[in-house]
Every structure is written in C-alpha cells, then in structure tokens.
Structure 1
Amino acid sequence: MGNSKKRIATLAVAGLAAGMTLTACAGAGGGGSAGTDGADEITVIMVGNPQMQDIEQLTEDTFTADTGISVNYTILPENELRDKVTQDVATQAGQYDVVSVGAYEVPIWAQNGWLKPLDSYVADDSDYDADDLLEPMVESLSYDDALYALPFYGESSFLMYRKDVLEKEGLTMPERPTWDEVADVAAKVDGAEKGMKGICLRGLPGWGEMFAPLTTVVNTFGGTWFTEDWEAQVDSPEFTEAVNFYVDLVKKHGEAGASQAGFTECLNAMSQGKVAMWYDATSAAGSLEDPSVSGIAGNVGYAFAPTMETDSSGWLWTWSWAMPETTQNADAAAEFMKWATSSEYEQIVGEQLGWSRVPAGKRESTYSIPEYEEAAGDFGPITLQSIEEADPINPGVQPRPTVGVQFVGIPEFADLGTKVSQEISAVIAGDGTVEDALADGQALAEEVAANYR
C-alpha cells in the first residue's frame, strides 16, 4: 500500500477500535522501563506453527548463549493462543513479556494502550535495519505512525498442489486459477492415490481458522461481511453462494474430519500425501519443501489464490511479536524481538535447519540470499508477489467500512466470525444447512453493525 492508503487504514482502525468492549486499565501491573536492566529471563507465548517450534529449538544455543537472557516459551494451538493472549493483554494481567499477535489485533490493541511502541528500539539500530522490513508488514503492525509489533514472518495465501499427481492425471493447474477450475481438478484427483482426497480446506471453527480462507472466497465471489455504510451482508446471495461452494467442495472432495481440520491438520494431511491440493497460507510452503518433515518435498506446485470476480484474492497476515504494556522486562523483551525478526536469525535457521524453513515474507533482503532463492525457487517469488498484491482496503468488489482481507478490522469480529464459523463447521459435519447458519450469522452481524451506523 502507498502512504495514502496507510493513512486511510490507520484512521479506519482508530475510529472503530473505540468500540472495544474491554477497557484498558492504564498502568496496571506496572510498565515502562523500570526493572528491565539486567533482566535475565523473559516469558514468551506463541502459536504452535512450525516456525515457532523452530525458534524454541534454536534459542538456547544462540540467543541465550549470546545475551544471557533465558526465554520461557508457552506454545498453544491458534484458537487457544488467541483466547489466552487476548485475556492476558486486555486485562493487563502481565503474565507475558512477549506475545504472538497478528495484523488484526495490533492496531486495535495499540489504540487501547495495551502495547508498547517499538520505534525507539529499532529506529537507531543499524544492525537491525528496520528499513529492510517489507512495507505491507510494517503498515499492518502500525498505529498512528508508530510501530507496535515486529513481524516474525509474513504471508499471503495461495494454492498448493501435487504437481506429480496432476501430471500423472494429465491435468494442468493455471498460474491464476478460478475456484471453478480448482473444484474441477479436485474432483479429478480425488482418489488418484490410495487414500488421497482432492483438497484440504479449513473447517475448524475460529475467525482466524476457517474464516481466514473462507472470507477470501466470499470476497472473490462478490460478497462482504458489511457494506460501506454498515449494512450486514452475511445472508446475501453472494455470501451464501461462496459458503455453499466452500462447504460443498470440502464435503465432496475434502479431507477426512474436515470440520475439525485447521492449518496444522491440513499441513499434516498435505505433507503425508493424504490430499492432492491445499489452499492456505504461503508460509506453509517452507515445511512442505523440507524433506525432513515432509514426504512430498520437491513434488509441490504453487498457484496464486483462486479468484472469481476479483483480480486477486490472497490474504495479508503476519505472525509478529508484540510487547504488552505491562512487561517489567522491556529491554530484554526488545532484544529477543529484534533477534527473532532479524536477518541474522534467518541465517541461523537456514544454516542449521534448512533454507526452506526460513521465516520469510517480512524482509526484502531475504529474497536476495542465494541459498534461500534456490530453496524457495518454486514458492518464494509467488509468495512475495501475493503479499504485494494483497489489498486490505479494497479486497472485494465493493467498498468496505474498514480494513482487512480475511477479517474485518473491528474488535467485535473475533466473536462474530467465530460464532458463524461454528455453525458452518456443523454444516460441514452434516448438521443443518448453510442457509440456516447464515441466517443466524446475519442476526449477529446486524447487532454488530448497529454499533457503527
């Protein structure tokens, strides 16, 4: 995004975040820099994705050995992490020095005064090179021209497919497929190998689980959660068509146990050869191409996020590190955050674990590392282009009241998206209809919209 779009996004989130139902208790639990000097231990809570498992493995012999700062990690599944972190930060309980958060939470929490600004830690640190961070990531983690989180890795979304399976079946995947083309291929490769299904799509409830991919489908089918003037659209024809398409595809040709399959379950299914395709985060490619954890490394093809009525549909996200205002170990926490998002850390991952596993998508320089370019030859360029093409301000065919590709940038969306996803997950499991689920969702969305009209 350009600077004008950045100002629009910031103003939109700033105005809407005022509706947050939880209220920050300024100064609760302390804060500031008191007690930070000489800290030798910090607490970090993070999502249980492969990149986070890697940093836990590497920390003691690198960061701790160099700085003397010990890191106590808590790793949780995505939905559990979000509940735990939101509760801790919003109530200012002060249990953690560093938390895993994303582009949805940061501007809202920063506006509420729950996070420490980070500019003073990175601006004058030439070794860190903040100017090397990709602009879309910086913008998504900023509020009122201040940076409140550092990106660990960035991502968009794309289609991953077994190029060897498609070739054997005489099929070709376009570089920019439509969803109709994807559904056609899914039907043809379903059963191509023993126990193989056509595609994996998230069915696990959660605004950031199922509705991350599903909202991109809604967008490109011409739907939206809300119109520009805050009219709820959850039961609109376009929204309904998109959800019916998604549910039908996963029920006919999707993974076993789809109603309980999230990112991790789909990653495992794809890595183990149980599905021929998967639409999800670009960051998954590093694991798929690592032969130490994937049985299909070297046999994966990549295509841009499928579309229908839009030119592109990939989401924009970054799992990042933020520092709650309550931390008593700000200096040590900042040292960890800078190390974990540095080019130095990328080198450590590449040299010790393999270059495909580098937590990329956040630094321009990553894409000029010869070893990474070779390891990410099939997915690196398309990842970077997908990130650059993602448009959080205009992700669909109509104007939006706020920002976000795969989410709506208001505090209430976490609850709204999760509740609607629970009903759709039940439909995937065989209980109820999409129309009934979306009728209930429309009523919930109208209650939210009434707060903004």
Structure 2
Amino acid sequence: MEKKHVKWMKMGVIAALLVSMLAACGTSADKGGQAAEGTGKDNNENKEITVLYLDEPFWKQQNEEFTAATGIKVKYETVPFMQLHDKVFVSFMANSSEYDVVHVRDDWATEFASKGFLEPLDSYITDDMKTRLNPQTMEAMSYQGKQYAIPRYVWLWQFYYNKTLIKDPPKTWDELITVAKEIKDDKVSPYAETWGGIVSYSSFIVHLRSNGGEFWDYENNRPTFNSPEGVAALQFMADMNLKHNIMSPLSKEFTSSGAMTEVLTQGAIAMNMNTPQTLPMANDEDKSKVVGQMDVALIPGGKLKTASYGETGGLAIPAASKNKEWAMEYIKFVTNADQQKKMSLANGKIPSDVEVVKDADLLAKYPHYALLPEQMQYPFGLFRHEDATKITDELSRNILAAVLGKVTPEQALQDAETKILAMIGQK
C-alpha cells in the first residue's frame, strides 16, 4: 500500500509539472526562436544554450571554461539526480525547447530516443570521437543503429576486498566461495550484493555475463536471461546464500550500492562488487573503520575472465532544441580528452576516453584505475529498453524470491520471462 501511495504521489507531481511546462512552453519556444533568428549565429556574444544537469562545482567550472573558449554562454539549470529523469521527461512531453543539452544514462537514452525526444547525432560525430571513446559506452548511447548521446563518464562496478582478511582476491566465483569460507571473523560477513527492493537484477546480470550469457536480444526484442547460463547464475547466487552461508544477511535489504558501502566501511563486509565511491569512503578517516584496509581487483569470472555492470553517463540534445549546433559544440568540448581528465581528477568519474583512463596523473590519484582498461574490455553496460524499469522490476522480484529459497531458479526465471514477454507484447 505504501508503495502504491508513493507511486500515485509521484504521478501527481509529474502531472503538475507537466501542466506548468505546457503553460510555459510557448514562451520557451518563442524565446528559443528569437535567439536563433534575431541574434545571428555569427555574434558570439548573443549565443546561449541551456543545460540541465547536476549541481556539482566541477560542472559549473567546466561551463565557464566552455564560454571562455567559444563565446557561447551557458544557462545552467540543476536538479537532484533522483529527480532528473522525471524533470527531463516532463519537458519532453510538453515539447518544450527550453533545454539544449540534457544528461542521460544508458537506459534513459533508449527510452527517450524510442519516443522521438532526442536528436540523432551521427552527422556531428567526428572520427576522433569514434576512436577515443570506449565502444561499449558509444553503444550504450545508441538506439536502432543511431547515436543519440555522447558518453561523458562511466560509473563502473569493481571488486573491493579487505586485504587484512584476504591475501589473494578470488579470480573466479568458485574461488570466492573458498576464500569466503576461510574468513573466521564472526563479526564480518564474507560477501555482500545488492539484492533488496528492485535492484537484484544488477547483480544477476554480472553472474549471467560471467557464465557467458546475456540479458537481452536487442535485435529481436526478447529476453535471453532464461537460459542455461541464466539458471546456473541464479542457482549460484542462491547457493551463496543458502548452501554456503557466505552472504551478509543485509544483502536482501540493500537497495543501493551506497547503503552497502556504508556497512562495508564499518568493517562488517569483507568483499563486494561496488561503484567507484567505495574506496574513497573506505579511506575516509572521519567515517570509516577500515581506512587503508580495502583494495580493488577484477570482478571474479567464470566462462569469461570477468564481467561487470555500470552506468554510462552521457549528454543528449532534445529534438525540440533551437540551438543544436551550439549544443553540439558544448558536448564536444566537455567530452574532449582534456576535460575528461579534469572531470575525473575533480569528482572521481571514470572517463569514457580509452586513453585518458590510463593517464598517469589519474593513476597516481586513483590507483584502482589501473584495472579499469582490462575490466572495461568485458561486458558492463546497463540493460537498455524503452520499458527497462518495468522489466527489471519484475525480474528483480523473481530473483529475490529465488535467492531466498522461496522458488527454484528455474521457476523464477520462467515466471519472469512469461510476464515480461506479455508486458512487451511478445509470445
């Protein structure tokens, strides 16, 4: 009941925002038209774009550098990340031209592109960009063979372990079981994953990929997780919990990587897959009890040496923008090699540029970056679909039931596949 109440409140907020946006749409469109027609694109002083992004110091500094380099002014609007998707969606539904550049991630890019909300960028992309930017991140920003956003950074899972408890990190998932059982500290759970709420699909995807499987057949728009590789992956997850008893009991409660990291920093977890904020948080002397104890390795593998999961953060141009050329100048500037290095040094985001990831200054500040080039050679992208949220919510409920022993892995994946095929109108 509480979840439905929250859902209806959220729908109400979106509806209210949409009404407001519709009322303002004419004004925004007129303003954009005047900017394009009345000022002339040769007059740098009158060029201006509006960017919707996050409220962090570096992004604002980057905007100032862009203006200094190009003469194009940036009107910068910020919103908390958890509200960003809905803010962008409301603007799109209103057919507003107020934004020229918006932040998207893998699944949002697909969702918005499928509805015609984004401008295809293929004609703007240079050979240099094709060479520099990680191909998986470029693929993550595409839909049906067209490029709809440019990757700015990656937020990639790596394997974190307490080196005071574990001498050699496990290279395979089978080794992880062995290593976990050698930990004799009763106050420490050997291993943890995020299984709570509707996020268990993300851990499952890593195990599935390690087994040589994949989540979705994009060409035929069908799930592929209900496979021998998928059943084996889910059985392994259930066995870690029920047979080998190595899982933190809080795994079923963790609904975010951040929540899991907070427990890890108190010394209650020996190993986990997690995002780049893990090591800095573990080494925070004011908050952490494991300062200097955590290290990083490749995520364990199976049929593949390793696999991961991670968000690609990109920049897109709304189809309704009146300033697409200026917007693309902005995107090219903030995703160039120099700016990606500055970004990473400032806020720890992993560059999408394949060479910048190897930069000596970055490695000096973030030693765990040394493993990224190899980790990023293996599958890591988010699941991308116009109905991604509904699909992953359904799968996560079934995965959680299986790892808790309420249903078999075979039944869980079969039930999820049946419901998801019906959801997307497939048989």
Q: Which residue of 2 aligns with 1:150?
A: 150
Query: Are residues 110 and 211 of structure 1, via their aligned partners in 2, closer, same or farther at CA, if it must alter by over 3 Å?
Result: same
Q: Which residue of 2 aligns with 1:386?
A: 375
Residue pair 1:64, 1:70 contacting (<8 A) in 2 also: no
Q: CA deviation at 1:362?
A: 0.9
Q: Identity over the aligned pairs, expressed in percent?
A: 18
Q: CA deviation at 1:285?
A: 5.7
SS at match of 1:364: coil
**Structure 2 letter corresponding to 1:369:** D
Structure with the greater alpha carbon radius of gyration: 2
Query: Are residues 113 and 200 of structure 1, via their aligned partners in 2, closer, same or farther at CA, if it must alter by over 3 Å?
Result: same
Q: Which residue of 2 aligns with 1:13?
A: none
Residue pair 1:107, 1:143 contacting (<8 A) in 2 also: yes
Residue pair 1:199, 1:250 contacting (<8 A) in 2 also: no
Residue pair 1:420, 1:441 contacting (<8 A) in 2 also: yes
Residues 364-414 of structure 1 show CA distances to partners (whole Å, capped at 9, x for unaligned) of: 34245322122233x223211121233x8xxxxxxxxxxxx653x543443
Do residues 246 (structure 1) and 220 (structure 2) align? Answer: no
> Of residues 60, 68, 76 in structure 2, which corresponds to 1:71?
76
Q: Which residue of 2 aligns with 1:360?
A: 350
Q: Which has the bigger relative contact order, CA under 8 A and spacing at least 6?
A: 1
Matches within 5 A, 1:101-140: 101-107=104-110, 109-110=112-113, 112-118=115-121, 123=126, 131-140=131-140
Q: Which residue of 1 aligns with 2:52?
A: 44
Q: Which residue of 2 aligns with 1:220?
A: 210
Do residues 323 (structure 1) and 323 (structure 2) align? Answer: no
**Structure 2 letter corresponding to 1:242:** A
Q: Distance in 2 between matches of 1:160 and 1:308?
A: 18
Q: CA deviation at 1:163?
A: 1.6
Unpaired segments ≥5 residues, structure 2: 1-24, 37-45, 68-72
Q: As a proportion of its length, which structure holds more helix?
A: 2
Residue pair 1:205, 1:260 contacting (<8 A) in 2 also: yes
Matches within 5 A, 1:80-91: 81-82=84-85, 85=88, 89=92
Q: Distance in 2 between matches of 1:216 and 1:345?
A: 31
TM-score normalized by the length of structure 2: 0.71
Residue pair 1:134, 1:363 contacting (<8 A) in 2 also: yes
Query: Are residues 260 and 358 of structure 1, via their aligned partners in 2, closer, same or farther at CA, if it must alter by over 3 Å?
Result: closer
Q: Which residue of 1 aligns with 2:395?
A: 420
SS at match of 2:189: coil
Q: Distance in 1 between matches of 2:413 and 2:136?
A: 32
Residue pair 1:255, 1:275 contacting (<8 A) in 2 also: no
Q: Which residue of 1 aligns with 2:200?
A: 210
> Of residues 255, 258, 273 in structure 1, which corresponds to 2:252?
258
Residue pair 1:157, 1:314 contacting (<8 A) in 2 also: yes
Q: CA deviation at 1:215?
A: 1.4
Query: Are residues 135 and 442 of structure 1, via their aligned partners in 2, closer, same or farther at CA, if it must alter by over 3 Å?
Result: closer
Residue pair 1:156, 1:317 contacting (<8 A) in 2 also: yes
Q: CA deviation at 1:123?
A: 3.8
Query: Are residues 371 and 99 of structure 1, via their aligned partners in 2, closer, same or farther at CA, if it must alter by over 3 Å?
Result: same
Q: Distance in 1 between matches of 2:348 and 2:206?
A: 26
Q: CA deviation at 1:74?
A: 0.9
Do residues 199 (structure 1) and 207 (structure 2) align? Answer: no
Residues 305-337 of structure 1 show CA distances to partners (whole Å, capped at 9, x for unaligned) of: 222333432346412122222345646654554
Q: CA deviation at 1:166?
A: 1.3
Residue pair 2:141, 2:148 contacting (<8 A) in 1 also: yes
Q: Distance in 2 between matches of 1:434 and 1:30?
A: 55
Q: Distance in 1 between matches of 2:344 and 2:372?
A: 18
